[in-house]
A and B are shown apart, each in its own frame.
Chain A
Amino acid sequence: MHELGVVFHVIDSLKKVAADNGVDQISRVTLQLGEVSTVIPHYLSDCWKWAAAREPLVAGAELLIEPIKAISWCEDCQKQYGTIEHGRACPYCGGGNTYLLQGNEFMIKEIEVPGPEEESDG
């Protein structure tokens, strides 16, 4: 629902990463997005195209989205299950003593920048 807003947050974060690494152009951005992060990949890509075109640092940069499966854990059964399929109720015991193990992530994993690999060792 707020995909455009989060794209602005992504671009702000990228500006800091770029400044820290002495980068003035980014050609690809890889995000990791949990299935229950409330961000819809398709809308995110559309908003990215719109916003990135207006920011020289990321103009024309490709956006890659890596999904992360949502998995919940039942404290009573000590078992894990798919959150999308079963929600908060454990499919084994029907109880609600459960919590999310993973799946609400929204991370910038890595960026790709034009230019040769720097020799950092040696």
Chain B
Amino acid sequence: MDNVRVIEVKQSVFADNNAEAERIRRQLKAEKTFLVNLMSSPGAGKTTLLRRTIADLKDEMRIGVMEADIDATVDAEAIAAAGAAAIQIHTGGMCHLDAGMTEQGLNEIGAAEFDLVVLENVGNLVCPAEFDTGASKNVAILSVPEGHDKPLKYPLMFQVCQALIINKIDVLPYFDFDMEKVLSYARVRNPSIEIFPVCAKTGEGFPAWEDWLRRQTAAWNG
């Protein structure tokens, strides 16, 4: 096998994605658009949480939503009905969004026209955590029926997020969900993570979450 040559590469497989994500962040900063990458398991309540958040904030900021679910016209219609612009991102059946797909979505929605854009990532606690989308902040939703051990089982998701929403707290009496444990598990992984227990159905806990979103958006777009 002397009729070959070897080329040394020594490059992280994610190097291109990370560079693209940094470029997206710089552009969003310049355009004064705050991009939130919202991640969770399927059924944790992303769309319900977004509908209520949009209804509460739509009069103070211009909000756009990019939906990455594989068949999401139902979600997109619900978002539009709540008062925000919504588009679907075509994931091609992928288990996560990367920076390239996010940029296509930002171009399609016209991100510069919005103060806040929410990227509703594919419902999955594993793969989306691995790929920087170029978002300003990452937020995860964990719902009570999923159990309090999720930060132990999916540590990376809880490390890459700046905020964690614990949804469906109205059903706490019916599940063996230990709120103290989930708080401590999440903070072991990520001591600076901000945690908001909420119920997207009733609006309980929303003022603290929406205040965080308001402050972060203002700080980014400043």
Let me know if A9 and B8 touch, CB within 8 A.
no
Q: Hey, which chain A residues are within 8 Å of B94, CB to CB?
A: 2, 5
Which of B11-19, B28-36, B172-180 is near enough to bind chain A? B11-19
Distance of A117 Cα from B7 Cα, bound (Å): 10
Given A27-B4, A96-B188, A114-B4; A6-B9 close (CB under 8 Å)? no
- Contacts A1-B126, A2-B127, A2-B130: A110 and B4 contacting too (C-beta < 8 A)? no
Structural contact, B156 and A38, CB atoms closer than 8 A:
yes
Cβ contacts under 8 Å, B98 to chain A: 5, 9
Chain A CB within 8 A of B215 CB = no
B96 contacts partner chain A, Cβ-Cβ < 8 Å: yes
- Whole-angstrom CA separation of A113 from B3 in the bound complex: 9
With the chains together, A111 CA to B13 CA distance in Å? 13
A9-B13, A9-B14 are contacts. A113–B127 as well, Cβ < 8 Å?
no
Instruction: Note all chain A residues with C-beta closer than 8 A to B2.
Output: 117
B6 close to A (CB within 8 Å): yes
Q: Which of A79-122 contact B (CB under 8 A)?
A: 88, 96, 105-118
A116 touches B156 (CB 8 A): no
Q: How far is the CA of A10 from the CA of B156 in the complex (A)?
A: 21
Tell me whether A105 and B127 are in contact (CB under 8 A).
no
> With A2-B130, A38-B156 as given contacts, are A115 and B13 in contact (CB-CB < 8 Å)?
no
Q: Give complex CA distance A2, B4 in Å.
A: 32
- The answer to whether A107 and B3 touch across the interface, beta carbons within 8 angstroms, is no
Count of chain A residues with Cβ under 8 Å from any Cβ of B?
32
In the complex, B95 has a CB within 8 A of chain A: yes
Given A9-B14, A9-B16, A16-B16, also A108-B4 (CB < 8 A): no
- Are B7 and A109 interface neighbours, CB within 8 A? no
- CB of A106 within 8 A of CB of B12, answer yes
- A2/B9 in contact, CB under 8 A: no
Taking CB atoms and an 8 Å cut-off, the chain A residues in 1-51 that contact chain B are 1-2, 5-6, 9-10, 12-13, 16-17, 21, 23, 27-28, 31, 38
Instruction: Find out whether the CB atom of A112 lies under 8 angstroms from the CB atom of B6.
Output: yes
Cα-based distance from A88 to B185 in the complex (angstroms): 12
Residues of A contacting B11 in the complex (Cβ-Cβ under 8 angstroms): 13, 17, 107-108
Take A38-B156, A105-B12, A106-B12 as given contacts and tell me if A1 and B6 are in contact as well, using a CB distance cutoff of 8 Å. no
By a beta-carbon cutoff of 8 Å, the part of chain B in contact with chain A is 2-17, 94-96, 98, 124, 126-127, 130, 156, 188
